[in-house]
Structure 1
């Protein structure tokens, strides 16, 4: 047991060293979730009437195109979250709480900016004068109608501070910042689903996997420790343990590619996720290369798990797109899994399955050692469905509760965001619950913060990869 404890300590020390080193270069990471873009020089205030980047707000290189107005009665209203950050003052002149509604990405950036403001001007808070607009006070293509834009000032309303406030907003990760008025700074962000490439590749919540015992589960109901059908390096169909979720968020809306095969299989996944493809009808698994799903085309072949239990090729006959709620990316021991009967990789973003599997080796080793030390054998991870149903709480918050357990007993927002957990006040308790129609009446009291759903190790590898790898390796 002493030897095992020594290995656990060594593994943790190694990961801590890597993570500490990466923190020194985290300024290279893109946008929210990667920390502030630290600079060696003192930030320079943004001049009046200038904007960053030097593109129009609706350019794809900035915040991107408008996707249509969101009203309280529209389905997309459920995509908005409420911001109860006590370190931000919301003007809310309409008295409808509209200024607290915004997209998840906008909220993340705003929370980071609130910290930057308090650090730069002690005793001063960030103030939001306008966020989501439901009254039609802006031009038709304004991002305010989608909860993707905010107008901000400082709480003391000292006009001389607004140039620096604009620069701090750039550092906080806003995709477009415009010092457009002497009385406020305008900021906006990309749509949540358009930045999925920064988070990882995924499958939809309703996708199914085959589990031990011959049954099936949706990815939304899958848990770490479950064993799912996968393919080993030798080409054998095996049961592989789910270690964790690289991405898990049942409230995110994403666009999925749907690959339909000649025998009726339908695989839905994000464009930057890896799927095994071959241009010709090949029987041997080694002929199939892991490629971005966006590179798949009609006539390509994938590997499917046939009704007879054998591995067989199947030709893609159509490719379509669907927009769905929920994104899940389970990591298995073998780095592969059959989703809706089609073989796919656990990895995304980098078009090299072997490299990705090797890079996740330390994490797999650490999890295996921890399991060994705790005395949790394979059978310990296999609980019956009856036991699962008995232990689950009958609420819709189950997915988020599982996410919280993976990260321990912490209450999380996004990396670097201050979270006040020392009070029982409901506005400071940011534990996640799903958005529901109770907020249609203008009351967002029931809406809380979402847990950051991308595993830290995946973000770490993405950050290191941007430093060490050829940009051509990443999804375009």
Structure 2
């Protein structure tokens, strides 16, 4: 069993390559870099976002994470710091109708001491969460369906789902600020979503579509399910080390190769 545990992750990464890589050359990806001497329209308007300090103009060192002061709700209603999440922990999430359990799979990226720029979103219900700018968060559209948008696009009066007194309710965004914080974490669950500080958020970032990102992780979820059947502990390897895990590195490489238009760079 230990032998399977050591081989499992390399095997799944090889499968990703064999299944998805076709040999076609990657499409060129255009990165837009703002002129340091000019102010972009987003900087001028800020979508109603106000900087908390002069550090707010700095760029984030990570673009897909929660701040280290985030608390996650487990299925037993216990709140734990995000840094304490471990593979197979049972968390809570929602599809917009009911609250149900989801399982922690892997910590995609983490750094306890690195600084990053966050958008801190506060709701009328008193909830708040800090996300890096390209991390997706769920908002409720006029037809009561869920749309996932980058944190930097959240505006005052947007409506989000929150968990209050163990019930799912909607709440209006009342404030959004940018602020530097120390420490960030990027957990991935089987549902691709979770409640962070009681607010429904996606586990994905740097993509245009939450649904596309979730489909792309299907093989990863299958491997996680298979590892549990085979009683493999830590199917994605030891996760106590700092930095980005090899899995998102491979997935990002494949996305650039096969579907670069799905990625979001700004």
Q: Do the aligned partners of 1:193 and 1:253 also contact (CA within 8 Å) in 2? A: no
Q: Which has the higher contact order (CA 8 A, sep 6+)?
A: 2
- Larger radius of gyration between Structure 1 and Structure 2: 1
Match of 1:474 in 2: 264
1:405 equivalenced with 2:227 (yes/no): no
Match of 2:120 in 1: 258
Cα separation, 2, equivalents of 1:250 and 1:326: 4
CA positional deviation for 1:331 = 0.7
CA positional deviation for 1:360 = 1.0
CA positional deviation for 1:243 = 0.8
Within 5 Å, give how 1:52-451 maps onto structure 2. Answer: 194-197=60-63, 201-232=64-95, 235-280=97-142, 284=144, 287-307=145-165, 309-374=166-231, 405-406=238-239, 451=241
Cα separation, 2, equivalents of 1:375 and 1:463: 27
3-state SS in 1 of match to 2:67: coil
3-state SS in 2 of match to 1:250: strand
Cα separation, 2, equivalents of 1:277 and 1:461: 26
Structure 1 residues 9, 452: closer, same or farther in 2, change over 3 A? closer
Residues 258-306 of structure 1: per-residue CA shift (max 9 Å, x gap): 11111111111111000011354x6x4xx12011111111111101112
Cα separation, 1, equivalents of 2:171 and 2:189: 23
Which has the larger strand fraction?
A: 2
Match of 1:459 in 2: 249
- Unaligned runs of at least 5 residues, structure 2: 39-57
Residues 197-245 of structure 1: per-residue CA shift (max 9 Å, x gap): 4xxx10011111111322110112222222111124x732112111110
Structure 1 residues 472, 220: closer, same or farther in 2, change over 3 A? closer
Structure 1 residues 359, 267: closer, same or farther in 2, change over 3 A? same
Within 5 Å, give how 1:26-41 maps onto structure 2. Answer: none
Cα separation, 1, equivalents of 2:9 and 2:107: 20
| Aligned residue-pair number | 236
- Unaligned runs of at least 5 residues, structure 1: 31-55, 61-191, 382-402, 408-450
Cα separation, 2, equivalents of 1:452 and 1:340: 23
TM-score, length basis structure 1:
0.44
Structure 1 residues 214, 195: closer, same or farther in 2, change over 3 A? closer
Cα separation, 1, equivalents of 2:13 and 2:163: 36
| CA-atom RMSD in angstroms | 3.5
Residues 447-466 of structure 1: per-residue CA shift (max 9 Å, x gap): xxxx5511222122222222
3-state SS in 1 of match to 2:238: helix
Counterpart selection for 1:16 from 14, 17, 29: 14
Structure 1 residues 10, 341: closer, same or farther in 2, change over 3 A? closer
Cα separation, 1, equivalents of 2:170 and 2:247: 33
Cα separation, 1, equivalents of 2:207 and 2:181: 23
3-state SS in 2 of match to 1:264: coil
CA positional deviation for 1:253 = 0.6
Q: Do the aligned partners of 1:249 and 1:328 also contact (CA within 8 Å) in 2? A: yes
TM-score, length basis structure 2:
0.76
CA positional deviation for 1:475 = 3.7
